[in-house]
Amino acid sequence: MKIEILGTGCAKCKKTEKIVREAVKEKGLNIEIEKVEEMDKIIDRGVMMTPAVVIDGEIKIVGRVPTKQEINQLL
């Protein structure tokens, strides 16, 4: 499984990354997490609002900070 966090580095993007990393760590999963900050790459994915969470190439959350419970459900 691969999780990508799309965001330019704003506070909401950083919070999303923190929540995702905490959820993965708490579950003890070995999941690749990548932070994508390049606007061209984000737009190429069709994402116009950040932060966004992409799991295995599928956009799951866009334009808001998810809760840890939401991330746990997606894992």
pLDDT tens digits for 4-30?
999 998 999 999 999 999 999 999 999
pTM score, whole prediction: 0.92
Q: Kindly list the structural domains of the chain, giving each domain's residue range(s) and its CATH number in brackets, ordered by start.
A: 2-74 (3.40.30.10)
> For 20-49, b where at least 16 C-beta lie within 10 A, e where not — what string?
bbebbeeeeeebeeebbeeeeebeeeebee
Q: So which residues are the catalytic ones?
A: 10, 13
Contacting residues for 25 by C-beta, under 8 A, at least 6 apart: none
33-68 residue pLDDT tens: 999 999 999 999 999 999 999 999 999 999 999 999
